[in-house]
Amino acid sequence: MQAIHGYYKDGKIEIYGEIPRNIKRARLIIVLEPEEEAKRYIPLDGFRITPPTSEEEFKMIGLYNFFNDEDDNNIDWEDCFGLK
């Protein structure tokens, strides 16, 4: 599968770039991105879950037990590294 960029205007499609010579036949899926419409972007925060603390973040990535032992239970790592 390969993506090729093109442009449509007045019933004609212009393809930018070259189609590889070894491709003799291909099915096409054409996705239209109208120029008239204003582009809408989804804010990055809509995709990202940001935990409130580093402990919550460690839980999310499965490393919570790495820092959950007797030696560091009384240490506030965020305060230690100036993250508050």
pLDDT digits (tens, 9 = 90+) for 14-66: 888 888 889 899 888 888 877 776 667 777 666 766 767 777 777 777 766 66
pLDDT value of residue 83: 78
> Which amino acid, 73?
N
- Of 58, 13, 55, 52, the C-alpha closest to 31 is 13
DSSP annotation of 36 reads S
Q: Where are the domains of the chain?
A: 44-80
* Reported pTM: 0.35
DSSP annotation of 72 reads T
